[in-house]
Chain A
Amino acid sequence: MNFSFLSPYFLIGFAAVALPVIAHLISRKSGMKKQFPAVRFLAASRGDSAARSRLRDLLLLLLRALIVVLVVLVFARPSTFSFVPIGEEGPRTVAVVIDNSFSMEYDGNFEKAKEKALDIIEALPDGSFGLTAPLVGDDNTGPEPTNDTGELKSDVKDIKLSASFTDNEKKLEEIYGALSGAPGTDKEVLFITDLQNNGWRDGYAEKEWLIIIDVSEEAAPSNRAVSALRSELIGDEYKLTARVSNFSESAAEDLLAELRLGGEETKGFFDIAPADSEVRDFVIPQDRITEEGTLTGSAEIKHDRLEIDDVRYLAVSGGEKFSVLIVDGDPREDARLSETYYLSGAVETVSELSGARVSVKDNDSFLKEEPTEYDLIFLANAGDIGPKTSTELENFVKRGGTLVIFPGERIRSSSYNALLGNLLPGEMVSVREGDFGISSEGTGMFPQDVRDKLDGVKVRRFLDIIPAEGSDVLLTLDGGKPFLAARSIGRGSVFLFTTTADASWSDFPITPVFLPVVKTFIDGSGYSNAKIRNFTVGDSVSLDIPSGVRGVEVSDPNGEIFTIDLGNPVLEDTGVPGIYTVNVNGTELYKLAVNVDPRESNLEKISIESTDGEKTEGNMVKVFKEIWRYFLWGALVLFLTESVARAAFS
């Protein structure tokens, strides 16, 4: 914090401090002179009180001198100031973006960011245009640029913390784009953030228009969070599995966690090493469950400075588990070399959120399985498919299951075409080699941010297919060859990738886009979605509504009621973590659990050159905050004190 005076020439008034000193010395030296006969009695009396009198005089002198000092300071207009990156040379066009992701709740960083934003707006030169926007929000474009600073300030005050998670870079580019309509050539985005690493999904790329202002004060913030919670009915007992993560540089010892399910509660302690997590199972007998309808539960740890992720909620569907089967056609002793190493990792990660049960089996075991026990099946380089299995897979899809097929060295195209011809989205032709990228055009299955990242995937080998009638090519390789094709059969769907699930044909499984693509299959399955009861904040939830109902309402954890359009039964307002209740015709149908994204709990900071508003002056402008009022109050208080002291002493 820097300190300065806006009217420093008034500091010459400090000379006035001499006035009470001189008055004090004069009064001590002469005072009123008086001839008196009984001085000897005075001398004896004075001895007792002389020291006390001197002390009182000095105290009064000190008070009076301080009053003068404070009054002089008031006139000199003391101010604190900081540097903010605003052009000094004239009107500018800036977007002030406040990181309102829930990690900003830590240590009051969100309020600091809003104060910093207000300072910046206050310091904007006349004629400047600006806009303010939250990093996380529904409105992707944000407000229009304006030169009304009052409106900008009002917008800042309206920004609220969000429990959602977003991609910083993408959002900032959108906001920068929103400045395009504003006047001026130099346009800047001032991003006020805590520099949380997880916000930069693909790392940080420096941009000349982006200035990052770090408001966090700790270099290594510490946080503990309940990062996963799921339940499983085993026999007559519910097994609650909780993962607690320690995102700090110190160990978490004897960290108390309280777990609840269906009205029953249990407790346990976690001992977690620094930057690690611990998974523990807790058992609750089914006969002790008192809750009716959808079972709900939670896991909560002792609160720290970021409270929102210290609790995690759970909703258990009516017994049936969403099940995923991964068939590994080329299992290896070293799991990292297996066909499904990346695929199973991605599915298990997503299943932690969805509560799905994941099974990984080799080709032989799969042939003995009953596919209808599963909701989603991945066939990865599964070479042996018998007639019986092909029939079971067809029934599985027709009943609403989702089948995802990855090719591989072990697959014989002729055998697949013959046995699974009724299912495959395209006829398998031959394997081709080359250097291909993926085009994201032509499909709405994947969100735009997922499609954008597909551009970075490099394919070296692919299985050429001829799309079947009625199938859709969702993704294509450069040159138009299909990369992913889909076909709807009955109530289910079949997806066919033309490259392997491992990294031998392409780098698709090791790119950041692989996980969201896999998640899309799980989330996109209408059959599976009907049974998923656990979501992440910001998710669009397709509601499982029986036919014939007249009205559907959903109440969120705050008690707010949302009416659902029966034509498109999707709940969009999932911004608050907690338990949601779906009511049909006024009666509870089931419950949902919505949780914060556990990635936001890791407060690790990214190494980005940033400014905290104090260190540099280049391209900065001083923002002053006048504090003379405090000195005025101080002077008044001292004045009253001096009056009281003077009256008491006399």
Chain B
Amino acid sequence: MSHGILDIETALRLKRFSFRTPNRVRGRKAGIHKSYYKGISPDFMEYKEYNRGDELRQVDWRLYGRHDRLYVRKFEDEVNLNWCILIDRSASMSYGDNENTKLEHAKRLAATLAYLLLKQGDAVGAGSFTEDGLELIPPRPGNTFITPIVEKLESVTPSGGTGFTTPLMKALETFRADAAFVIISDFFTDEEEIEKGLQMLKAAGKNTALFHVLHPDEYEFGFRGSVEFEDMETEEKIIVDTGAVRNTYIKRIREFMDRLRRVCHEYEARYVFSPTSKPIEESLIEIADK
């Protein structure tokens, strides 16, 4: 089994971490996420006055001895969760150094996260999206499911422009039940579309995390002299004196990142800045329970 994009060492270092959603979910199988329903997990949740029909084994007899009234103990139920991991496969994601493009970084991030999620018993579906559409394999639990996920991710090649709303709508059709979305992208698309997509996910009750992948060139702009730049998606060309535009460009890209953070905060999505120069371990820790 070839797991070239799966960073096993990182996965092993992160195995003590778990990835939970803050909301209760309606899972069918046992897992680590708090269930929408009360269950039989060891975690005590609350006392409830006995009513007819309650199981007698749940009555707390010590409390009855002290107060002369019957109370039953209620426990949490823990279930698994479906995860939808989506990576942006637009042309702009191909930017980067030879083996460290943004897309490769996104693939490693997605594969490693999928591995960890499968290990904790969740069902994971993964896919890629562009402005034109979505390629997705539905979620399934089980460690062995990592292989098709990795194969799917490895087969992703960059093309087209970055889209957000359309592929998300398609993904939501697949993940109608409770699910968590992880979207890995450079988000170089219309900012209103990003906001609309996040709004849609929140309305659907999905927990969402955004991994913002950028190459250092994109936020440090370390170019020199006069350079003719060609947009990787629109093929628009522009000649600039890099020295003259550097400060303004850096200011504008940071404003974009700040706006993205604010939108995520507004729609209760987690924002993780994950540049290609940053180890994926550090990015993943930011969404893990510590």
Check B56 for interface membership: any CB of A closer than 8 A: no
Say whether B2 faces chain A, with CB atoms less than 8 Å apart: no
Q: Which A residues are in CB contact (< 8 Å) with B93?
A: 37
Contact A45 B249 (CB under 8 A): yes
Does B253 contact A41, Cβ atoms closer than 8 Å? Answer: yes
B36 at the interface (CB under 8 A from A): no
With contacts A28-B226, A37-B186, A37-B188 taken as known, whether A42 is within 8 angstroms of B240 at the C-beta atoms is yes
For A33, A39, A40, A48, the residue with the greatest tally of chain B CB atoms inside 10 Å of its CB is: A39
Contacting pair B228 A45 (CB below 8 A): no
Contact with A along B199-218 (1 / 0, CB 8 A): 00000000000000001011
Say yes or no: B228 contacts A33, CB within 8 Å: yes
Contacts of A27 in B (CB 8 A): 225-226
Q: How far is the CA of A33 from the CA of B256 in the complex (A)?
A: 25
Q: Take A35-B95, A46-B240 as given contacts and tell me if A41 and B249 are in contact as well, using a CB distance cutoff of 8 Å.
A: yes
B244 at the interface (CB under 8 A from A): yes
Which of B92, B225, B239 makes the CB contact (< 8 A) with A37? B92
- List residues of chain A with CB within 8 A of the CB of B251: 45
Q: For the complex, what is the distance from the CA of A46 to the CA of B240, rounded to whole Å?
A: 7
Determine which residue in A41, A43, A56 has the highest number of CB atoms from chain B within 10 A of its CB, and name it.
Answer: A41
Contact A32 B225 (CB under 8 A): yes
Say yes or no: A38-B227 contact (C-beta < 8 A), given A43-B236, A45-B248: no
Binary contact track B233-272/A, C-beta < 8 Å → 1, others 0: 1101011110111001101110010000000000000000
* B232 CB within 8 Å of chain A: yes
- A43 CA to B231 CA, complexed, in Å: 10
Name the one of A30, A44, A52 contacting B252, with C-beta atoms under 8 angstroms: A44
Name the residue among A32, A33, A42, A45 with the largest chain B CB count within 10 angstroms. Answer: A42
Residues 24 to 69 of chain A near chain B (Cβ within 8 Å): 27-46, 48-49, 52-53, 56-57
Which among B93, B102, B186, B239 has the highest number of chain A CB atoms within 10 Å? B239
Q: Tell me the minimal C-beta distance from A533 to chain B in angstroms.
A: 83
List of B residues within 8 angstroms of A35 by Cβ = 95, 229-232
Q: Indicate whether A41 sits within 8 Å of B225 (C-beta atoms), given known contacts A35-B230, A49-B244.
A: no
Is B37's CB within 8 Å of the partner chain A? no
In contact, A37 and B249 (Cβ under 8 angstroms): no
B227–A34 touching, CB < 8 Å: yes
Known: A37-B188, A43-B238. A48 touches B232 (CB 8 A): no
Q: Are B234 and A39 in contact (CB under 8 A)?
A: yes
Residues of B within 8 A of A31 (CB): 225-228, 239
CB neighbours (8 Å) of B241 from chain A are 49, 53, 56-57
Within 8 Å CB of A32, what residues of B? 223, 225-228
A436 vs B6: C-alpha distance when bound (angstroms): 139
Cβ–Cβ < 8 Å partners of B223 in chain A:
32, 34
- Return chain B residues, CB-CB under 8 Å to A44: 252
A52 touches which of B228, B244, B253 (Cβ 8 Å): B244
Q: Are A39 and B238 in contact (CB under 8 A)?
A: yes
Give Cα A52 to B239, complex, Å.
14
- Judge if A587 is at the interface, Cβ distance under 8 Å: no
Given contacts A32-B228, A49-B241, A650-B243, contact A37 B234 (CB under 8 A): no
Question: B102 to chain A: which residues have CB within 8 Å?
Answer: 37
CA distance A32 to B242 in the complex (A): 11
Q: Is the CB of B92 within 8 A of A42?
A: no
State in angstroms the CA–CA spacing of A28 and B233 once bound together.
Answer: 23
| Contact between A38 and B253, CB atoms less than 8 A apart | yes
When distances are taken between beta carbons in the complex, the residues of chain B under 8 Å from A40 are 188, 231, 236
Q: Is residue A9 contacting chain B, with contact meaning CB distance below 8 A?
A: no
Distance (whole angstroms) from the CB of B1 to the closest CB of chain A = 33
Closest to B92 in A: A37
Residues of chain B contacted by A53 (CB below 8 angstroms): 240-241, 244
Name the interface size band of chain B. Answer: 20 to 34
Question: B227 contacts which chain A residues (CB < 8 A)?
Answer: 31-34
Roughly how many angstroms separate A34 CA and B240 CA in the complex, as a whole number? 11
Q: How far is the CA of A397 from the CA of B112 in the complex (A)?
A: 142
Contacts of B253 in A (CB 8 A): 38, 41
A34 neighbours in B (Cβ, 8 Å): 223, 227-230
CB-CB nearest in chain A for B96: A37
- Least CB distance, A150 to chain B, in whole angstroms: 57
The SS class assigned to the B binding surface is mixed
Q: In angstroms, how far is the closest chain B Cβ from the Cβ of A444?
A: 92
Of the residues A28, A37, A45, A57, contact of B232 by C-beta under 8 Å = A37
- Say yes or no: A42-B229 contact (C-beta < 8 A), given A37-B92, A37-B95, A49-B245: yes
**Bound Cα distance from A48 to B245, whole angstroms:** 8
Interface centre among A45, A52, A650 (most CB of B within 10 A): A45
Query: Which A residues are in CB contact (< 8 Å) with B248?
Result: 45, 48-49
Contact status A37-B230, CB under 8 Å: no
Closest CB-CB distance, A60 to chain B, in whole Å? 11
A337 to chain B, nearest CB (A): 96
Q: For residue A57, which residues in chain B have a CB less than 8 angstroms away from its CB?
A: 241
Complexed CA–CA distance, A29 and B226 (Å):
10
Contact of A39 among B230, B244, B256 (CB under 8 A): B230
Per the bound structure, the CA–CA distance linking A119 and B120 in Å amounts to 102
**Residues in B neighbouring A43, C-beta threshold 8 A:** 236, 238
Contact indicator B232/A41 (Cβ below 8 Å):
no
B93 and chain A: residue at smallest CB distance? A37
Alpha-carbon gap, A39 to B242, bound state (A): 12
Chain B residues whose CB sits within 8 angstroms of the CB of A45 once the complex forms: 240, 245, 248-249, 251-252
Check A37/B244 contact, CB under 8 A, given A27-B226, A43-B238.
Answer: no
Is A36 in contact with B252, judged by CB distance below 8 angstroms?
A: no
> Which residue of B has the minimal Cβ distance to A38?
B218
A649 near B232 with CB under 8 A, answer no
The residue among B102, B243, B249, B256 with the most chain A CB atoms within 10 A of its own CB is B249
Q: How many whole Å from B259's CB to the nearest CB in chain A?
A: 12
CA distance A53 to B228 in the complex (A): 15
Partner of B249 from A29, A33, A42, A56 at Cβ < 8 Å = A42
- Give min CB distance, A21 to chain B, whole Å: 15
| Distance (whole angstroms) from the CB of A95 to the closest CB of chain B | 67
Which residues on B sit within 8 Å (CB–CB) of A37?
Answer: 92-93, 95, 102, 186, 188, 215, 218, 231-233
Complex contact B229–A28 (CB within 8 A): no
Instruction: Say yes or no: B95 contacts A42, CB within 8 Å.
Output: no
What are the interface flags for B150-190 relative to A under an 8 Å C-beta threshold, 1 for contact and 0 otherwise?
00000000000000000000000000000000000010100
Nearest A-chain residue to B253, judged by Cβ: A41
| Measured CA separation A470–B93 after assembly (Å) | 134
Q: Which of B217, B234, B244, B256 contacts A41 (CB 8 A)?
A: B256
Cβ–Cβ < 8 Å partners of A49 in chain B: 241, 244-245, 248
Residues of B near A29 (CB, < 8 A) are 239
How far is B186's CA from A647's CA once the two chains are assembled, in angstroms?
35
- Cα separation A53 to B248 with both chains bound (whole Å): 13
In whole angstroms, how far apart are the Cα atoms of A31 and B238 in the complex? 11
Point out the residues of chain A lying under 8 angstroms from B249, CB to CB: 38, 41-42, 45
Closest to A52 in B: B244
Complex Cα–Cα for A395 and B247 (A): 112
**Whole-angstrom distance from the CB of B150 to the nearest CB of chain A?**
25
Q: How far is the CB of A41 from chain B (nearest CB, A)?
A: 5
- How close is A596's CB to chain B, nearest CB, in angstroms? 69
Residues of A close to B231: CB separation below 8 A: 35-37, 39-40
Chain A hits for B92, CB < 8 A = 37-38
- Selected A-B contacts with CB under 8 Å, 25 pairs: A27-B226, A28-B226, A28-B239, A30-B228, A32-B227, A34-B230, A35-B230, A36-B217, A36-B230, A36-B231, A37-B102, A37-B231, A37-B232, A38-B92, A38-B218, A38-B249, A39-B230, A39-B238, A40-B231, A42-B238, A43-B238, A46-B245, A49-B241, A53-B241, A649-B244
Partner-A contacts on B (CB < 8 A): 92-93, 95, 102, 186, 188, 215, 217-218, 223, 225-234, 236, 238-241, 243-245, 248-249, 251-253, 256
Which 4 residue pairs across A and B have the least CB separation, nearest first?
Answer: A37-B92, A39-B231, A45-B248, A31-B226
